[in-house]
Amino acid sequence: MAREKTLGASPPPDDKNRDAALRPKLLKEVIGQRNVAERLEIAVRASKILNEPLGHILFDGPPGLGKTTFATVLPNELGTSIQMTSGPALSKPADLLPFLTNLEESSILFIDEIHRMPRVVEEFIYPAMEDFRIDIVLGDGVNARTISMHLKRFTLIGATTRGGMLSGPMRDRFKMREHLDYYSVEELATIVKVNAAKLNTTIADAACVEIARRSRGTPRVANARLHWCRIYAVGTADGVISLDLAERALLQQEVDPTGLDKNDRRYLEVLVDVFGGGPTGADAMAATMNIAVDTLTDEIEPYLLREQFLIRTPRGRTATAKAFQLLGKLHPEESKSDKPSLFDPD
Ligand code: ADP
């Protein structure tokens, strides 16, 4: 199995620990995203035959869909090591040096949230990606000179929730670019079943499907919902997750039958009650909800957009008739048409 080297990594929060424990270890254990997994299987096989490192890979897609999972599975497949860092942790080129000098032949450097890496660091990493060398400037002014340092051949894996924010030159340097999409209910139900077994928890098939239906198409959410159902089953019953128990546990957690949680409903309430259904901007919504704009755009909105509770127009976010219906409110168009017209026959 791959050795993970963590340089300068802060202790991970609970969610990350749980994710790490449930994360698949090999490509064949990865559920769903079959096209991506098959392309990676081919690339791994070729890399072993050619005795060359895997080409640099970029994963993009909303949070919790498996970008880190794919990145951590690959070193296991290749029998190599991985170092993990993230864009915000690399504020200057020197922050990259320990990672680059620690590289082993064909090892992996994983940079999460790579779109948040400053431009100077991005430019510093280009020669490392292209020619496995870095240029270091020593001294300054007239005495400045540049020395080139050769690196071990490695694979950079970048993950981003905002593919569009990555610069063109950075994007072009990745040999493979893989977009991860939301999972089907069947795929999530399988993930729930497999993970319940890893947690030694008995769960009914119908409960797996119910948890999957309410997990916003996202494995990380499914893991969190399963975790809560398991706690609820132990805390209130005999530890077995039946369909009835899963429904009660999710209700207790304020996850409704459509899969929306407290934050989703609050978003829609603010948009409808405070902004009259929109259109309004992300900054105004985030300020009113008292949450970070990134949480709003990366975690809450993608699911509401996908489920058509929300549309985004050049003028801003607008609630759909479906959102008004969910909140039991009349859509402005409907209230207009309800008003008696002078031309109504009676
Ligand atoms: P991302 O990096 O895209 O935010 P992660 O890779 O951290 O998402 O995925 C979150 C968790 O969801 C993982 O720890 C893993 O348990 C689970 N997961 C993600 N993708 C899959 C998958 N395809 N099959 C099984 N479990 C998955």
CATH number, domain of 135, equals 3.40.50.300
Q: pLDDT tens track of the chain, all 346 residues?
A: 566 554 433 334 566 677 778 899 999 999 999 999 999 999 999 999 999 999 999 999 999 999 999 999 999 999 999 999 999 999 999 999 999 999 999 999 999 999 999 999 999 999 999 999 998 888 888 888 888 999 999 999 999 998 888 989 999 999 999 999 999 999 999 999 999 999 999 999 999 999 999 999 999 999 999 999 999 999 999 999 999 999 999 999 999 988 899 999 999 999 999 999 999 999 999 999 999 998 899 889 988 999 999 999 889 999 999 999 999 988 877 766 555 544 444 4
- Residues labelled as active-site residues: 67-68, 112, 161, 220
Same domain, 227 and 102: no
Instruction: Map tokens 């409907």 to a residue.
Output: 334
Query: Prior bond to 279 cis, omega within 30?
Result: yes
Residue 10: the pLDDT is 37
In a domain, 11, yes or no: no
Residue nearest to atom 4 of ligand 1 (CA): 64
**Ligand 1 within 6 A of CB of 217:** no
CATH number, domain of 319, equals 1.10.10.10
Amino acid at site 283: D
Q: 315: buried, middle or exposed (CB in 10 Å: 19+, 13-18, 0-12)? A: exposed
Last residue in a domain, options 119, 153, 179: 179
DSSP string, 58-116: EEESSTTSSHHHHHHHHHHHHT--EEEEEGGG--SGGGGHHHHHT--TT-EEEEETGGG
Same domain, 58 and 173: yes
* C-alpha 288: how far from chain center: 25
- Whether residue 32 contacts residue 65, with contact meaning beta carbons closer than 8 Å, is answered with no
Q: pTM for the complete prediction?
A: 0.86
Same domain, 114 and 163: yes
- Whether residue 301 contacts residue 161, with contact meaning beta carbons closer than 8 Å, is answered with no
**Ligand 1 within 6 A of CB of 227:** no
Radius of gyration of the chain (CA): 24
Residue 2: the pLDDT is 60
Cα-to-centroid distance, 226 and ligand 1 (Å): 14
**Ligand 1 within 6 A of CB of 25:** no
